[in-house]
Every structure is written in C-alpha cells, then in structure tokens.
Amino acid sequence: MNIIFSDQEEGISPLDRGLIYGDGFFTTMRIQNHRPLFWDDHIFRIQTSAHRLLFPELELEFLQQQLFPNLPKEGICRLLFTRGDGPRGYAIPAEPKPNCIVMLAPLSTQLHSKDMRQLKAMICQTSAGINASLAGIKHINRLDNVLARTEVEQALCDEGLMFAGDSLVCATQANVFCVRGQEVLTPKLHQYGVDGIMKKNISRWLQSLQIPLIETQITRQILEESEEVFLSNCVSGIMKIAQLEQLDFEQRVAEASSVALQLHHHFLKALSNL
C-alpha cells in the first residue's frame, strides 16, 4: 500500500481508479493530543470497507507507523483509500495496488468551543442514494451529499436532512437521531447512508444511560413530533437541531433532561481522555 501525504510533492496518478471511477472509501478522524479519537473504531471501519469492496488486505500497522508521528496536536485527519492505478475498464484489476491519501486540516474556531452546537436545519430536495450493496460504507461516491450540501449553503443553514422517499436517512455530513419519550430512534441504514463511528459510540453511551436506541424507519411525521433531534459525526461530536424550517425544537425539552446534552458530555470526556 502506497501512503501519500497531501501536503507533499508526490501526487496522484490521473489513472488512479479513485479519480476515474470513485473506486475507494474514506474515514475522517478528530485529532487531539497527537492521537486520533476512536482509532480502533476507525481501523474496524477501514477493514470492513476494504473487505466489502474487495480490496486486498491493507497494511494497517505500516499505516499507523507512518501516520502517528505526523499528526498535529489537534486537527482533522482524513484517510482516503483508492484501489490505485489500473487498466481501462470497470473490473477490479487482478493485482490492485491501493493508495492511502492522508489529508490533514486544522480545527475550525467553532470546534474549539466546549458548548454543544445548536443548528438551524432544513429538509433537502436532493434525495439520498439507495444501494443496498454500498449501504453503510463511507465510499467516495458522494455526489448526492455534494448537491445537498450546496442547498444548505445557499439557504444559509447549518445542516440539511436527506430523505429517500418517505424515509429519513441522514444529514449531509452526519447521522441523525430523534428522541421520543424514553427512547432514541435512528434511521435503519440497510439500503443507504453511512454507518457512522460516532453512531457506534452513541449506542454504547446510551446503553450506559439505560436508554434504548432503535434503528427504524423515520418518517417526516415522526421527525416533527420528536422532543429532540440531534446529529453526530466524528469531528463535531453531538449537534442539536434547534430549528428545522418552521419547527422550533429549542424549547421542547429542558436542558436537565436533554439526551443530546448527556451524549455531548460523553464526547467531551472521550476527547479529554486522549
């Protein structure tokens, strides 16, 4: 496996299958004290994605040896895996030589705050792509997210929720959760979406709080009737939707009983433990 740091002179071949066919996957990590948050979960995602996409076995110990000495004190790190160069045609090459492209970026100002973000959100017109073969994988074919995110920026919102037909799937850059009564609902991602690493940790934290997490179909009616709606990803942690178009979620639940706020404290604790 060839490891390429994006700030170095070595470039990517125009024949790389990641460029030509979107033949690859990625994972994005929050860096704190020169260490990646939830590293074991990211390794599991890389291994699982590589297996499902029929990549050869990746040299992950070698990757860690090359990566960790180059991590900043804090920041964002994206690891993007492609199948490397290959002959013309869609079929997987007989002997692929994968690339791992390492991209480092600083944290934005808002990510330095310990306060949970309160978001203004919208419903996107762009639909989430349906493909059971790729469901859950953070593959690099993300044009639906590109179009949806552009909607969000043009509407001057913080985030947008994406549906597939009548079913809520995700936000443009996050998994989504709805609090109803004594349980938390999240979309069942068997036909679409990304099975997020923060989602896995939220499941663990909810279990410790004795709050059920249920994967199910979430309609717009369920969304609108929820007491809280919050989002998660590995960089931003937990983000609460305060306003969704004409719906005001800010006053629906007291701060002391906010599930999102409890999970936010778990995220801050995970960061401080690095």
What torsion do the CA atoms of 134, 135, 139, 141 make, to the nearest 10 degrees? 80
- Is the Cβ–Cβ distance between 29 and 39 less than 8 Å? yes
Same domain (yes/no): 123, 97: no
Residue where a domain stops, chosen among 87, 107, 127: 107
> pTM of the predicted model, to two decimals?
0.94
Are 116 and 240 a contacting pair, CB within 8 Å? yes
Residue at 112 is within a domain: no
Task: Examine the pLDDT at 11 and tell me if it is beyond 80.
Answer: no
pLDDT digit string, tens, across residues 43-68? 999 999 999 999 999 999 999 999 99
Residues 193-201 have a mean pLDDT of 96
Q: How far is CA 247 from CA 121, 149, 243, in A?
A: 10, 20, 6
102 and 122 housed in the same domain: no
Is the domain of 122 the same as that of 157? yes
Q: What is the pLDDT averaged over residues 84-96?
A: 93
Chain mean position to CA 136: 10
**Domain holding 238: CATH number?**
3.20.10.10
Same domain, 74 and 92: yes
pLDDT tens-digit series, residues 219-274: 999 999 999 999 999 999 999 999 999 999 988 888 878 999 999 999 999 999 99
pLDDT band at 172 (very low <50, low <70, confident <90, very high): very high
Q: Are 240 and 126 in a shared domain?
A: yes
- One domain, residues 59 and 152: no
Last residue of one domain, picked from the residues 88, 107, 126: 107
- For residues 6 and 10, what is the distance between their CA atoms, to the nearest angstrom? 8
What is the model's pLDDT at position 118? 96
Q: How many domains does the chain have?
A: 2
Q: Which of 260, 243, 272 is nearest to 37 (CA)?
A: 272
pLDDT tens column, 109-136: 889 999 999 999 999 999 999 999 999 9
Are 17 and 86 contacting, i.e. CB atoms less than 8 angstroms apart? yes
Residues 16-35: what's their mean pLDDT? 96
Please report which confidence band the pLDDT of residue 38 belongs to, taking 50, 70 and 90 as the band edges.
very high
Predicted pLDDT at 174: 98
Kindly indicate the confidence band of residue 9, based on its pLDDT and cuts at 50, 70 and 90.
low
For the domain that residue 46 is a member of, what is the CATH number? 3.30.470.10
Residues 156, 32 within the same domain: no
Q: Which domain holds residue 122?
A: 117-272
> Do 99 and 143 share a structural domain?
no
Residues 140-152, mean pLDDT to the nearest whole number: 97
- Share above pLDDT 90 across residues of the chain, in percent, rounded to a whole number: 89
Sign of CA dihedral 10, 14, 17, 20: positive
Residue 229 confidence (pLDDT): 97
Q: Which pairing describes strands 167-171 and 159-164: parallel, antiparallel, or unpaired?
A: antiparallel
Query: DSSP states of 35-50 as a string?
Result: EETTHHHHHHHHHHHH
**Mean pLDDT taken over the chain:** 95
